[in-house]
Chain A
Amino acid sequence: MKQLLILSGKGGTGKTTVAGAMIRLSQVRACADCDVDAPNLHLIMKYEGEGIRSDYFGLPKAFINENVCTMCGLCSEMCRFNAVDVNEKTTVNQFACEGCGLCEAICPVDAIEMRATVAGDLRLFDDIEKGVFSTAQLRMGNGTSGLLVTQVKNQLKKAAADAEFAIIDGSPGIGCPVIASMTGADTVLVVTEPSMSGFSDMTRILDTAKGLRAETAVCVNKADLNPEITDRIRTYCKERKVPYVGEIPYDPLAVKAVNDGLTIADVNCPAGDAVREIFEKVMKIFEGGRK
């Protein structure tokens, strides 16, 4: 399954808006939302029902058996994450515990057990007409988003095994979930915006993607809000030989479409027209394969 991944570096540049439109235009049979911290693609995908839900287990957490614990404090002393407190009793801060299991290994009286805990929900939608959509929500305060991203992609590949390609909406930033989503991607489309922040973050995500086999391309959303910075982004891409696939204007109708639960390809609007042109160019790169 070939994968087209949408990323941005900076948040809020329009990843999901563009991904939603591309899914419509391509009529792809497999799509996923890998922004497990703040998933939104489902809001405009309009799948019926709740989908098939399954638990996501992150790393296990430490639990103290109070009947056995002698409050010696060794676990608290050895824990590098300051997750264990020994006061009137020994307690584990479940948010601070990273699940390394050192306390369990060193407890002199075997009072500690590592237990699997639910760290998120996976959902899978399978619709005869629309195809398969895989998404997930990490529970707040959890730190294993990369692993969940991998599971979102795995359940997609399994359920849509015969789909030739997939479109995947990624997360902002350059860290754990982004790197996990990049694994296996054939083409990465970076959606940026004409601001100093958007520009700076785009350079960081392009640098992060450098080591990959995937081809990268850039488009600018809300391009007319600052034409000068849009020019600079275009020049930067030209110098770095990163394909520059187009510009989407700021369009209040795009906001309205999203709030009506539609993609910008579903309505007649300037942003929708622009995304159609970008789609054609991206698909050419995508079909051309890896670099």
Chain B
Amino acid sequence: MKIAVLSGKGGTGKTMVSVNLATVAAPSVYVDCDVEEPNGHLYLKPENVEREAVEVLIPRSNPDKCNGCTECVRFCRFNALAYTLDRLKVFPEMCHSCGGCKVICPQKAITEFPRTVGYVESGQSGDIKIHTGIMNIGEVAGIPIIDRLSEKIPEAGNVFVDCPPGSSCSVMESIKDADFCVLVSEPTVFGAHNLNMVAELVRTFEKPFGVILNKDIGGERNPSEEYCLKNNIDIIGRIPFDRKLGLLSSEARIAVAEDSHFKKLFSEILDNIKEAAQ
């Protein structure tokens, strides 16, 4: 079963939840799609890591063939091309690699060459296989790296996909193959507001989903819980605010591996997910 863990708001505990679930579910696969800020590897500490570059295609113009007609410049909606000082200039970070300039060039002056935008690192930690996407600093879009990660996802087995925050294109790309979505929320009006957005996203893609209420402070108001109750959304787990869990997680330690209380808590959440996903 492929389970995507997402949140809307950042910092609600996606990675902490993902690595602990992957550990209680082992043998399992953990995939880090938060390519701008991948952190699961800090917890899982994979060994025998193999690294592969993720490349995109970028145009290059042959000055001998180019006659300066600038059709390509007018075609490119991403503002990745400019014609100055008698030659075509390419802005690689702006390019979406659509290949259009090459196709429409009347002189056939454009060829494409690969440019590295990030990496996928694959390794093993005990019974857990780990795939981490890492976007290079200064790049703007992580989608090609997320695409490469989804090629790594096996058909069978327990797979946990740690998604980026928000509800943008990269989140959509990350949940594409998921059988079930776990939405992690915190007890603030910020958390509830962003939970609403991400719930709309998973509904649009008709994914079954449930919410984990993280950092729940008993007796205090929990706006995320109020949102779930009001909208008939399944609450599949509650993780009370706990300084020990906070401390372990801040040190990128896996709570379920160190404390039987947390092992029980996350095993129950995993059971709830499996039940809800059926």
Contact = CB atoms under 8 A, between A and B. Distances in A.
Contacts of A38: 8-10, 165-167, 193-194, 197
B251 A195 contact: yes
Contacts of B243: 225
A55 interface: no
A80 B9 contact: no
11 contacts: A9-B37, A40-B190, A95-B169, A105-B103, A106-B104, A140-B204, A141-B172, A175-B135, A179-B138, A195-B249, A258-B189
A13 B201 contact: no
A197 B252 CA distance: 7
| Range, interface on chain B | 35 or more
Nearest to A205: B37
A100 B137 contact: no
B22 to A, nearest CB: 16
A173 B100 contact: no
A68 interface: no
Nearest to A210: B137
B103 A43 contact: no
A242 B76 CA distance: 39
Interface in A28-81: 37-38, 40, 43, 59-60, 78, 80-81
A187 interface: no
A57 B57 CA distance: 27
Interface of B: 7-12, 15, 36-37, 39, 42, 75, 77-78, 96-100, 103-104, 135, 137-143, 164-172, 186-190, 193-194, 197-198, 200-201, 204, 217, 220-221, 223, 243, 246-247, 249-252
A204 B138 CA distance: 10
Interface stretch (A142-150, A158-166, A276-284): A142-150
Given A12-B9, A37-B167, A261-B189, A173 B246 contact: no
| Range, interface on chain A | 35 or more
Given A16-B190, A197-B15, A80 B251 contact: no
Nearest to B36: A173
Contact of B221 (A141, A197, A226, A259): A259
Contacts of A204: 36-37, 137
B103 A78 contact: yes
